[in-house]
């Protein structure tokens, strides 16, 4: 019945064709939708690669919608807000209308997307930087009339320094002790989501629900669901690694310092003692992480393998004293609301102490610990962080085991025609898999050029040779190029070499415009060029003539000192072949996918890395690309344009 209903939706005379005058059945889309429906019926996990143009969102939404008739809830997790908003604002409303099925849906967001009425009420404007005052005026006008408290309603987004002061967070929440409990915006949003048939969220919220399940036995961030869909599934494991890790930094100590001021004002007992910790916590935290930075600058460790690598017991002892004073104040506080506040500050201090000990001593064998450089108070500083090395076991046990079926999809789920790498990363053991047919004729519409290179990407002189090739490709394509780099160093070197050679605009990441503004400017100016690094290898959607050539500077291998790969290598794994190459293949395929975004698109992909032919692993990478290479001669690009 379900599979028959799916077929009817995608038939040439089905629901979609009756409401879309330009509807053309896509075999890959219909096939994927039936595969998802079958996975739901059979209670099987499914990994499906859906090339660009498949229309994968309709493919998984249709069976999810049909399953709402059997009171089955589906959660859809994605990595970016643009896709989430497309699903909720465009795709789901359209399908509800054309399929004639009454179902509910919503976008679940983290608490920090909502106004906290208590924090807003208690806001002290004098604590804010002067430049935020004009934004605050707009926020006040909105806050007086909003029904949802959702930040997305604001046309001009307030700066983070302001929004943090007034937004809701789980560790600041008084819950029933708050005088605004009955009109709490995030509580109302969660209550609304609890009744939806289809829930869209980001990976962080899904993993927060999983973390709650691990710690309490029950996930309360999201409603109970039967089916789970991972869109952009190739990114899920890395997001999980970071989410389930820990981080300690001078900023966390600074927040405790601010807590001291509030706690002393709320406390009937020990206010002076609490106040005494304020400055010392901030300063000790600041100097501790200067020591961490000095250690990093001297030894440059990829990962931390030396418990107590810097002295931190004095800071830990101070935190323990602070916790003891707070605990006494909270236990003896007669006012219920003040007691609730003190318990919040106590819990936060205990969390910082526990995370500090774990990171400094590297206590969790499932994690890798490392140092990140950053600034604090305009001085060099650092943070100590951890990532879960292999999150698959955790995800399988606490997430996938509780679903009737989980669907993992993306345009790039395979490496060398195998799903093994992605399945292992995610911890999916027993699964079905498929690759559906692309709606685009990649072989006819893309010329893959891998030019002859005299220098290896690791050798001196590569960036100069790269600049010469980029200049020539830009000339042949008359602009219209997205140039993707694996490092800022190469990007800026090439940009400076070629920027004065053309009359049309050349845009570069990190100069004047943010990512969205760069993409919009590149779209508007058809004969222009955009230079970008890692964040531009995926999630850039520019159909039409404006993007006619993608240049990738080299195979995007992970950096040598990647903490997770370093940890796996220390465990005896053959990291290069088991992890570095698969990651590079997926990133390279993502970059390739920027070019063809609709059926009429046509152009070139240029990869300036001779290791694709000179190294043994090059053949595997070439086999993994969407098409075989066409030429090594740049001159062939001109004849291709003339065809």
Tens-place pLDDT, residues 300-339: 999 999 999 999 999 999 999 999 999 999 999 999 999 9
Beta bridge partners of 532: 484
Tens-place pLDDT, residues 552-609: 999 999 998 999 999 999 999 999 999 999 999 999 999 999 999 888 899 999 999 9
Residue 215 is classified by DSSP as: H
Residue 401 is classified by DSSP as: G
Q: In whole angstroms, give the CA distance from residue 533 to residue 613.
A: 24
3-state secondary structure of 177: helix
pLDDT along the chain (643 residues), means of 10: 94 88 88 98 97 94 96 96 94 96 96 96 88 92 95 92 94 92 96 97 97 89 97 96 97 94 88 90 96 96 95 96 95 93 95 98 97 94 98 96 96 96 96 94 93 95 97 96 97 97 95 90 95 93 92 96 94 94 97 92 95 96 91 89 68
**Equal fold, 2-104+196-242+391-435 vs 442-642:** yes
The yes or no reply on domain 442-642 and CATH 3.40.50.1110 is no
Q: In whole angstroms, give the CA distance from residue 622 to residue 529.
A: 26
> How high is the pLDDT of residue 643?
65
Cα-based angle 21, 26, 30 (whole degrees, multiple of 5):
110
Residue of 503, 458, 436 lying closest to 609 (CA atoms): 458
Kindly report the pTM of this predicted structure.
0.93
Would you list the domain boundaries of the chain? 2-104+196-242+391-435, 111-188, 247-384, 442-642
The yes or no reply on domain 2-104+196-242+391-435 and CATH 3.40.50.300 is yes
Residue of 576, 204, 561 lying closest to 372 (CA atoms): 561
DSSP string computed for 110-135:
-GGGBB-HHHHHT--GGGS-GGGHHH
Burial state string for 242-262 with b = 16 or more CB within 10 A and e = fewer than 16:
bbbbbebbbebbbbbbebbee
> How high is the pLDDT of residue 623?
95
Over pLDDT 70: what percentage of the chain? 100
> How high is the pLDDT of residue 85?
93
């Amino acid at each position: 019945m379900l599979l028959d209903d799916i077929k009817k939706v995608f038939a040439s005379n089905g629901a979609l064709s009756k409401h879309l005058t330009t509807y053309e059945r896509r075999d890959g889309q219909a096939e994927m939708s039936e595969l998802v429906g079958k996975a739901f019926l059979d209670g099987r996990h499914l990994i499906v690669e859906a090339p660009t143009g498949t229309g994968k969102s309709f493919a998984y939404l249709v069976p999810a919608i049909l399953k709402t008739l059997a009171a089955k809830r589906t959660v859809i997790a994605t990595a970016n807000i643009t896709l989430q908003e497309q699903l909720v604002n465009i795709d789901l409303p359209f399908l509800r209308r054309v399929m004639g099925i009454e179902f509910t849906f919503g976008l679940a967001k983290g608490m920090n997307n909502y106004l906290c009425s208590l924090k807003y009420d208690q806001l002290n404007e004098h604590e804010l930087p002067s430049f935020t005052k004009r934004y605050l005026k707009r926020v006040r006008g909105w806050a007086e009339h909003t029904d949802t408290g959702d930040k997305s309603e604001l046309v001009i987004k307030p700066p983070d320094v302001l929004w943090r002061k007034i937004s809701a967070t789980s560790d600041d929440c008084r819950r029933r002790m708050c005088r605004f409990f009955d009109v709490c915006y995030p509580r109302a949003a969660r209550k609304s989501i609890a009744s939806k048939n289809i829930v869209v969220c980001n990976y962080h919220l899904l993993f927060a629900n999983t973390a709650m399940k691990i710690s309490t036995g029950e996930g309360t961030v999201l409603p109970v669901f039967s089916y789970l869909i991972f869109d952009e599934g190739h990114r899920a494991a890395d997001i999980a690694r970071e989410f389930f890790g820990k981080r300690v930094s001078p900023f966390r100590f600074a927040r405790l310092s601010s807590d001291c001021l509030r706690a002393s004002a709320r406390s009937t007992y020990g206010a002076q003692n609490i106040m005494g910790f304020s400055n010392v916590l901030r300063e000790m935290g600041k100097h501790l992480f200067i020591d961490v930075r000095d250690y990093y600058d001297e030894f440059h460790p990829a990962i931390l393998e030396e418990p107590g690598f810097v002295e931190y017991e004095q800071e830990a002892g101070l935190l323990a004293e602070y916790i003891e004073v707070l605990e006494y104040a909270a236990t003896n506080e007669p006012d219920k609301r003040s007691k609730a506040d003190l318990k919040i500050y106590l819990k936060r201090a205990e969390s910082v102490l526990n995370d500090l000990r774990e990171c400094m001593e590297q206590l969790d064998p499932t994690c890798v610990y490392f140092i990140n450089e950053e600034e604090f108070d305009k001085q060099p500083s650092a943070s100590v962080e951890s990532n879960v090395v292999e999150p698959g076991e955790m995800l399988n046990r606490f997430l996938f085991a509780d679903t009737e079926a989980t669907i993992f999809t993306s345009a790039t789920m395979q490496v060398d025609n195998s799903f093994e790498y992605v399945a292992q990363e995610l911890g999916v053991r027993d699964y079905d898999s498929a690759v559906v047919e692309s709606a685009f004729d990649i072989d006819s519409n893309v010329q893959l050029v891998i030019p002859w290179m005299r220098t290896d990407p690791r050798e001196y002189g590569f960036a100069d040779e790269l600049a010469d090739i980029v200049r020539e490709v830009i000339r042949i394509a008359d602009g219209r190029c997205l140039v993707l780099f694996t490092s800022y160093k190469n990007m800026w070197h090439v940009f400076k070499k070629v920027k004065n050679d053309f009359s049309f605009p050349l845009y570069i990441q990190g100069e004047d415009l943010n990512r969205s503004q760069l993409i919009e400017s590149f779209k508007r100016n058809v004969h222009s060029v955009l230079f970008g690094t890692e964040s531009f290898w995926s999630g850039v959607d520019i159909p039409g003539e404006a993007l006619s050539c993608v240049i990738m500077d080299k195979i995007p291998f992970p950096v040598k000192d990647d903490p997770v790969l370093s940890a796996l290598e220390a465990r005896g794994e053959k990291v290069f072949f088991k992890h570095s190459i698969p990651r590079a293949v997926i990133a390279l395929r993502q970059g390739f996918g920027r070019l063809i975004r609709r059926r009429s698109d046509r152009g070139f992909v240029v990869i300036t890395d001779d290791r694709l032919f000179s190294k043994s692993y090059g053949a595997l990478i070439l086999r993994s690309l969407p098409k075989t290479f066409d030429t090594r001669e740049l001159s062939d690009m001109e004849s291709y344009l003339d065809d």
